[in-house]
Amino acid sequence: MEARALLQAAKRGEMEALEELCRLYHPRLCRYAYALTRSREEAEDVAQEALVAMLRALPDFRGADTGKFEGWLLRIARNRVYSEARRKRPAPIPEGFEPPDPAPLPGERLEQAERRARLLRALDGLDAESREMVALRYDLELSYAQIAAALETSPARVKWRLRDAREKLRKLLGDVEI
């Protein structure tokens, strides 16, 4: 089918003509989107979105010329690329901001591991109820009331047991911060 006739049939909603338009323009849209994005995955997504948008808007397309149609379709793809780029644009970093290095130095990692091992050994020195309360308070960050509800005891008992547990841990750990 001639390109102009294909376009007219597609505008009338003929399924074969719509499928043929998609087959005809999909590779071109992919190449164009790839030139803009430099990503095969993004180019494929843009091409698919442009074709879906074309299928929805085709009945309202006012031209009969295939050149005009192709330009219109490429503008749809271009707008998709730039809309996605605007959506993904990262927030500007304030001037003078220096992000912290997320990875500790090897010596710091070793020190952290040793502190953690000492803390775990010290926790083993607590009774089961105190260990559980320490875990609920400091690992799960529950409030005294939440711990009391979970363990079916009073908030006052939780406070008292946690205070005793901290004191015992201080004695067991000595210079290590808890």
* pTM higher than 0.75: no
| Whole-number Cα distances in Å, 119 to 35, 106, 108, 127, 175 | 56, 20, 16, 15, 11
Q: Is the pLDDT of residue 177 over 70?
A: no
Question: Among 10-14, 44-48, 89-93, 166-170, which is the least confidently predicted range?
Answer: 89-93
Q: Is the pLDDT of residue 176 over 70?
A: no
Q: Quick one: pLDDT at residue 91?
A: 64
Q: How far apart, in whole angstroms, are the C-alpha atoms of residue 118 and residue 88?
A: 45
Instruction: Note the pLDDT tens digit of each residue in 76-103.
Output: 998 998 888 777 766 676 777 676 666 6
Q: Using an 8 Å Cβ cutoff, are 178 and 120 in contact?
A: no
Q: Is the pLDDT of residue 178 over 60?
A: no
> Which of 87, 108, 14, 167 lies closest to 5, judged by CA?
14
Length of the chain: 178
For the chain, the 3-state helix, strand and coil shares in percent, each to the nearest 5, are 75, 0, 25
